[in-house]
Amino acid sequence: MTDVIELDDRLRRLADELNHALIEQVAAVRKLTMPAWRAAFEAVPRHLFAPRFTLPQNLGGQTLDGTDVAQREHWLRAVYQNEALLTDIDDRDIPTTSCSAPSVVATMLESSQASEGDTVLEIGTGTGWTAGLLAHRLGSDSIISVDISAQCVTDARDRLERLGLAPTLVVTDGYLGHPARAPYDRIIATASIRKLPPAWLDQTRPGGTILIDLRGDFAGSLALFTIGDDRSVHGQFLPETANFMPLRSTEQPFQQLPELSSRAVREPGEQRTTSLDPAALRTRSFAFLAQLALPGTVAGHVTIKNGEKRGPMYFCLTDPRSQAWARVTTDTTTDRQVIQGGNRRLWDELEAAHDLWKRLGQPRPDEFTITIAQDGDQIVDLPGADRSWSLPL
């Protein structure tokens, strides 16, 4: 049984006020424009789904516990911020589940096109909040939500029951969908993925939609796939990104910055200067195109530790498949050193991608489309520019 937090009258009124203010804040950025979803946000209070959580590092990383009466008001105020709340963090300090940010949840629900009569599969139950919002609007019988974590499913079920909601919750690897209740009108994934899993396509009805956070190592974007009556698939990237944590699946393991990066900072290689600042990858539209142009490449900052002493910090690109690597000094001068090795010249490729991005007029992610070829290849196009990229295996 999860922790039940009974609010006294004063805090209950405060929770209502805070929820209302949050709804207005989300509506002000043109989300929650549909009255039916707004009503769901009013009826399914977020605080019931996050009795204990850690704020993201950019907000101080503080852990707040609503079961502790002394910090209850502080906890309640933090729940009703437009932020993701980390509800579990593993022993490597990596968040494994969270309560997604309200504006992201509103975007997902509205963009999914789910409406009365639809059967919806949510991949990533997490705290159960999104499943609760879906069940409130569409009815518990129409909602199936799966999570790989048995603890998430147990906790979510208890919380939803307290609101009189009983969607079907299943512990399973969502990469495989949930064939038992297929076909679905809508599939919504609240964990990110590198490619659309074939099972999700197979389990969606003609005329249905699949909404995912398509994300590699450089950038991500929400992508909405529409299944035609002839089962053709058309995907459109949306302006928004969701920043979801990666789907943990044995079927499609997420790449960690590999061992290769420690070789990348030590080995001698071809050396030259570069005027491209690694910080260019912080520009989302460039990061999006670079990820398509350098499929499978992993990026990150790496330093050499020699006992207590830290060496210089490098920005590294590595490609586990070709064993190629590049390191770049992170000083602010225009003649940064780049050193590259292996079978590809990753930094040359990144510079070429940067030139292409400028030549194409710095296209935004939502200018790209995605289709699925007969052989299952997932191809991203930039209409009008005669350019296409295959998503990596």
Ligand X SMILES: C[S@@+](CC[C@H](N)C(=O)[O-])C[C@H]1O[C@@H](n2cnc3c(N)ncnc32)[C@H](O)[C@@H]1O
Apex 286 CA angle, 321 and 277, nearest 5: 85
Q: Tell me whether residue 263 is exposed, middle or buried, using C-beta atoms within 10 angstroms of its C-beta: 0 to 12, 13 to 18, 19 or more.
A: middle
Cβ closest to ligand X, residue 119 vs residue 190: 190
Q: Which residue is nearest to ligand X (CB)?
A: 126
Report d(CA 281, CA 287) in Å as an integer: 5
* Residue 333 three-state SS: coil
| Binding to ligand X, residues 231-260 (CB under 6 A) | 244-245, 247-249
Give yes or no for residue 2 binding ligand X (CB under 6 A): no
Note whether 341 binds ligand X by CB under 6 A: no
Cβ nearer to ligand X, comparing 118 with 147: 147
* Angular region, 164: left φ>0, alpha ψ -120 to 50, beta rest: left
CB half-sphere exposure, 257, CA atoms < 13 A: 14
By CB under 6 A, residue 143 contacts ligand X: no
Range in contact with ligand X (rule: CB under 6 A) among 5-13, 145-153, 323-331, 354-362: 145-153
> In the complex, what is the shortest distance from the CB of residue 96 to ligand X, in angstroms, rounded to a whole number?
6
Among 2-10, 56-64, 147-155, 295-303, the segment contacting ligand X (CB under 6 A): 147-155
CB of 124 or CB of 365, closer to ligand X:
124
Angle at 239 between CA 235 and CA 244, to 5 degrees: 85
Q: Mark whether 103 is an active-site residue.
A: no
As measured in angstroms, the least distance from the Cβ of 326 to ligand X is 31
Residue 100 is a binding residue for ligand X (CB under 6 A): yes
Tell whether residue 98 is a contact of ligand X (CB under 6 A).
yes
CB of 193 to ligand X, least distance (A): 9
Q: Return the bridge partners of 186, or none.
A: 120, 209
End-to-end CA distance of the chain, in Å? 41
Q: Does 124 bind ligand X (CB under 6 A)?
A: yes
* Rounded distance between C-alpha atoms, residue 151 and residue 176, angstroms: 20
CB of 209 to ligand X, least distance (A): 17
Selected catalytic residue, list 100, 111, 112, 285: 100
Nearer to ligand X, 137 or 336 (CB): 137
**CB of residue 51 to ligand X, shortest distance in Å:** 13
Shorter beta-carbon distance to ligand X: residue 146 or 201: 146
Kindly tell me which of 126 and 342 has the beta carbon lying closer to ligand X: 126
Is 143 strand, coil or helix? strand
Say whether residue 174 binds ligand X (CB under 6 A).
Answer: yes
Among 23, 106, 121, 123, binds ligand X (CB under 6 A): 123
Alpha carbons within 13 angstroms on the beta-carbon side of residue 168 total 13
> Three-state DSSP class for 180?
helix
99 binds ligand X (CB under 6 A): yes
Instruction: Choose which of 19, 112, 127, 318 interacts with ligand X (CB under 6 A).
Output: 127
Question: In the complex with ligand X, which residue's Cβ is closer, 51 or 174?
Answer: 174
- Site for ligand X, residues 191 to 210, rule: CB under 6 A: 191
Contacts of 39 (CB under 8 A, 6+ apart): 136, 137
Q: In what order do the strands lie in the sheet with 220-227?
A: 168-171, 143-147, 120-123, 184-189, 204-215, 220-227, 233-237, 369-372, 378-382, 387-390
Contact 300, 246 (CB under 8 A): no
Where does this chain bind ligand X (CB under 6 A)? 96-100, 123-124, 126-127, 129-130, 146-149, 152, 173-175, 190-191, 244-245, 247-249
Active site residues: 100
